[in-house]
A and B are shown apart, each in its own frame.
Chain A
Amino acid sequence: MKAAVIVYPGSNCDRDCKVAAETAVNADVKMVWHKETHLSDDLDLIIIPGGFSYGDYLRCGAMASVSPINAEILRHAERGTSILGICNGFQILCEAGLLEGTLLRNNSLKYICKDVMLDVTNNNTRFTKAYGNQTKAMMTVGNGEGNYFADDDTIKLLEDENRIVFKYLENPNGSKGDIAGIINKKGNVLGMMPHPDRAFAKELGSDDGANVFKSLMQL
């Protein structure tokens, strides 16, 4: 698998994403600086990593979503390349208009770092096939703005189209409908707040995140 991890100023899970993809599926991963203007056509996966792009001083992800590399991300989304946004990456994908909804401040108004048990609500996507009959996945969240919000019509649309991929069993932050991760209509862009890039090996407490990468090998 050929993968690229986009590095924005303030990204801090870029290396984690690289190591996770390498460890889980032996991917060939290169790091791409956000000022680049080309993403090669032979990429199988583009990862938008977590962190605090541009310090999150504006709305989370808003600045990154207009970085020079963004045009290429949009082009690849259109082409059908798999795109995975984790944490700040999810926020960036929402800001870029590739996914519906937005991430608000956690309802506790605090940053929350904890283990979360997820319900794999759709195991029939290219990112979740490998879960098979495994309906639960343990990962961690670490964010201040992980509280997913969209209007009722959008939530209904997501439900009707079976595009809610992960839900929290115990909602940590007030996310509407306990939503932890959603996929776009075409099925090639996944955004999620929990970190598969921190749950890819037993010694980290869980390897349930590895299946996100393994699923992509079954394409």
Chain B
Amino acid sequence: MTNNTEITPEIIAEHGIKPDEYQIILDRLGRAPNLLELGIFSVMWSEHCSYKSSRRHLSKFPVSGPLVIQGPGENAGVIDIGDNQAAIFKMESHNHPSFIEPYQGAATGVGGIMRDVFTMGARPVALANALRFGEMENQHTKRLLNGVVAGIGGYGNCVGVPTVCGETNFHASYNGNILVNAMCVGLAEQDKIFYSRGAKVGSPIVYFGSKTGRDGIHGATMASAEFDVDSDEKRPTVQVGDPFMEKLLIEATLELMQTDCIEAIQDMGAAGLTSSSVEMAGKEGLGIVLKMNDVPVRETHMTPYEMMLSESQERMLAIIKPGQEHIAEAIMQKWDLDYAVIGYTTDTGRMVLEFDGEVVCDIPVGPLSSDAPNYDRPWVKPEVEKPVTAREIGELGDLGDALLKILASPDICSKRWIWEQYDRHVMADTLADSSHASDAALVRVHGTDKALAITCDCTPLYVKNDPYEGGKQVVAESYRNIIATGATPIAITDNLNFGSPERPEIMGQIVMAIEGMAEACKVLEYPVVSGNVSLYNETMGTPILPTPVVGGVGLIKNYNDAIGYGGINEGDTIILIGNTTDNMGATTAMKVLVGREDGAPPKVDLVLEKQTGETILELNEKGLIEACHDLSNGGLALGLAKMTMGSDIGIVGQVQEDIPLNAALFAEDQARFLIAVAPENEGAVNQILFDKGLASRKIGVAAGNSLEIAKAFKIHKDDLWKAFEGTLKEFVA
């Protein structure tokens, strides 16, 4: 197949372009595209690059606020953390590649998200992730878990950025479609942030980093023998990562950014050279000329089609101020990186590619970026489940056994086996990570007393059973996790993982979950600054649970004021803040103990969430609390167990009796926290809670070695640990 190949309906379909989309291409070009041009349209108009199914709904998110420097639309979001410093962060999925080849899929996911962050001038300082695997009984789960964890560690550890937190769930809906969502947070000076906008006419386009190979060329269909008659190899569509190269690329890029020679810069991520060049040109209404013979290539006889669609990793594209190419070249030489001037910007608004002395592509840039299709896909409002009362599910047997079963359940159990494979300490600024009793990770802002709080959250079952309330809850839980460290929540990045948007019921999940999230972001003043959408996550017609993951970032001005749930001292009073109902719908207890996943998730009262959160921060600022823990999955009982384990001290007390004991222990009502208060501060704390009109209840005191709740259970802390630590270790053994 050559660039003169006739474009047949089959070739159009193989590129994932719908007939009506092809008609738009014909209209815009006034002629039929050649194969290369078709390939370029296909990647730029892919769901991944164009957000064509989700764009109109994503616009509902609040994206600005007093601390937002850059919202969605750039490589990553940017927030103001004071002192002319900025935190830059984003989360992105690498779901499909990770299922095909878990190690490389996950590794390149980490690499890609780091590039999005350092492309903007930030040094990456923390990695986080949200992973979803099939049920443990599935034959592939162990292999995929092993590969993904090794891949994340293999990449992040080598580059030298600590992986500080994450969450891991197991559910049958992910059996054929795991989710690997990686988040990166970086730090930059506010006056040294770099954007993909800013290119001027007549400036050289500079390529640096790895060479371009044939890996990752879009999709298995195009990697067939039919596509390349000279080769009968089937090229892998999963890219291969080289973390050593990434480390060099970070240092070289940040060094280049210390000079004053960059007009615009963009990493080559999805759709590689195509999307990076189109985005920089498109943002300024410019044109570009690329000389394809000058692109550094890894293999001989690569065609422009392959070069433009390759997703080889660890590559950057920058538009440099004219005459300053030598500065960039010297830095790349120091780091032994490939470097080439491969073209220049023009005022034509067209993308012109030259190869072997011929123009092989000449298309307008505009339609590729700003005019990409924007669908209003049909959707139906999802059925919302009804609450399930504690009375309805009846007795849960021995409540001590019940708690131990929850502690040992796959979603709740200790993920030590995972996080011990991640370097959590490199850069020597990690104050709290997955190994700590802290609801969010804390990473010091290097050389200051400030720290960032970082957390990744989603409860997919909630979203499935009520996308709107579930969407609200995802954001609320992220907010609470930040609050529980004493930090102020600032902004989120999101990673929306759903099934096929072409199915109205899935589109309904997407629409309603986004509306719920948007509402929560608005009320909690917790805007979205970056994000990623991953659709078509289904296998043989079975979609995944809707999984809109939120990566939250907050700030604490002095890390010495940070709290965790491990700070309880003997004699401290344990207080529950918030209301508990008897709704057990979609709870961990119902799933683990009764085997039911139905029912309405807890309602989220966003105004109350905000009031409660702000009160916790006030209590902490006044130095009135020793420990704090947000309540979510597993309810009060699990919260108490985690505090007991985290603080290495027992808690003796009782729960409310005006609702069934099962609900008091295991309901998952929102806007609740457990706090530990020194006896001398109890009065002051109660007064503040009373003044704010917040419901609270003394659960008990810290004493002994057991978690002992009247009429429910008495469990030694060692037994809690045993249940908590066993499951994953045995599963992977």
The answer to whether the Cβ of B710 comes within 8 Å of any Cβ in the partner chain is no
Within 8 A of B (CB), among A41-74: 50-52, 54-57
| CB-contacts of A101-151 with B (<8 A) | 110-115, 140, 142, 144
Considering the chains assembled together, what is the distance between the CA atoms of A111 and B243 in angstroms? 15
A51 to B335, CA, bound (A): 16
Interface residues of A in 171-201 (CB under 8 A from B): 195, 197-198, 200
A9-B248, A13-B160, A55-B243 are contacts. A113–B424 as well, Cβ < 8 Å? yes
| Interface stretch of the complex, out of A15-23, A77-85, A157-165 | A15-23
Q: Which of B154, B244, B423 interacts with A113 by CB under 8 Å?
A: B423
Q: Give the interface of A toward B (CB within 8 A).
A: 9-10, 12-13, 15-16, 19-20, 33, 50-52, 54-57, 110-115, 140, 142, 144, 195, 197-198, 200, 203-204
Closest to A7 in B: B251
- Docked Cα-Cα span, A16 to B335, in Å, equals 21
Does the CB pair B431–A16 fall under 8 Å? Answer: no
* B335 partner residues in chain A, CB cutoff 8 A: 9
B184 within 8 Å of A (CB atoms) = no
Q: Among A20, A197, A203, which residue has its beta carbon within 8 angstroms of that of B431?
A: A203
Chain B residues near A (Cβ < 8 Å): 150, 153-154, 157-160, 242-245, 247-248, 334-336, 419-428, 430-431, 435, 444, 559-560
Expressed in whole angstroms, the Cα–Cα distance for A111 and B154 within the complex equals 8
21 contacts between A and B (CB under 8 A): A9-B248, A9-B335, A10-B247, A15-B428, A16-B427, A33-B334, A50-B426, A52-B157, A54-B244, A55-B243, A55-B245, A56-B244, A110-B150, A111-B153, A111-B421, A113-B421, A115-B435, A142-B157, A144-B157, A198-B425, A204-B431
Beta-carbon contact of A198 and B160 below 8 Å? no
Q: Which residues of A contact B244 (CB under 8 A)?
A: 9-10, 52, 54-57
Contact B336 A12 (CB under 8 A): no
CB distance from B290 to the nearest CB of A (A): 29
Q: Which residues of A contact B425 (CB under 8 A)?
A: 113, 140, 142, 195, 198, 204
CB atoms of A112 and B421 under 8 A apart: yes
- The answer to whether A55 touches B158 (Cβ under 8 A) is yes
In the complex where A12-B247, A111-B153 touch, is A198 in contact with B428 (Cβ < 8 A)? Answer: yes
* Given contacts A112-B421, A142-B423, A12 and B159 within 8 Å (CB-CB): yes
Q: Which residues of A contact B150 (CB under 8 A)?
A: 110-111
Give A92 Cβ to nearest chain B Cβ, in Å.
Answer: 15
B423–A111 CB distance below 8 A:
yes
Q: Which residues of B contact A52 (CB under 8 A)?
A: 157-158, 160, 243-244, 247
* A20 in contact with B428 (CB, 8 Å): yes
Residue of B nearest to A13 (CB): B426
Beta-carbon contact of A16 and B428 below 8 Å? yes
A113 near B420 (CB under 8 angstroms)? yes
B422's partner among A16, A57, A113, A197 (CB-CB below 8 A) is: A113
CA distance A19 to B421 in the complex (A): 25
Q: Which residues of B contact A50 (CB under 8 A)?
A: 426
How near does chain A come to B278, taking the closest CB pair, in angstroms?
32
Q: Are A55 and B242 in contact (CB under 8 A)?
A: yes
Q: Which residue of B lies closest to A197 (CB)?
A: B428
Contacts A9-B248, A111-B153 aside, 17 further interface pairs with beta carbons under 8 A come to A10-B158, A16-B427, A16-B428, A19-B428, A50-B426, A52-B247, A54-B244, A56-B158, A110-B420, A110-B421, A111-B421, A112-B421, A113-B420, A142-B157, A142-B423, A142-B425, A198-B426
A142 touches B248 (CB 8 A): no
Q: How far is the CA of A115 from the CA of B160 in the complex (A)?
A: 18
Q: Bound complex: CA of A198 vs CA of B248, how far in Å? A: 23
How far in angstroms is the closest Cβ of chain B from A165?
21
**What CA separation (Å) do A161 and B248 show in the bound complex?**
41
A207 to chain B: closest CB distance in Å? Answer: 12
Docked pose: A204 CA to B442 CA in angstroms: 11
Query: Chain B nearest CB: distance from A90 CB in Å?
Result: 16
Bound: A197/B427 CA distance, A: 9
Chain A nearest CB, measured from B208 CB (Å): 15
- Chain B: which residue is nearest A115 at the CB level? B435
User: Which residues of chain B are within 8 angstroms of A115 by Cβ–Cβ distance?
Assistant: 435
CA–CA, A33 and B444, complex, Å: 27
Chain A residues near B420 (CB-CB < 8 A):
110, 112-114
Q: Are A51 and B422 in contact (CB under 8 A)?
A: no
Smallest Cβ-Cβ distance to A12: which chain B residue: B160
Residue of A nearest to B123 (CB): A15
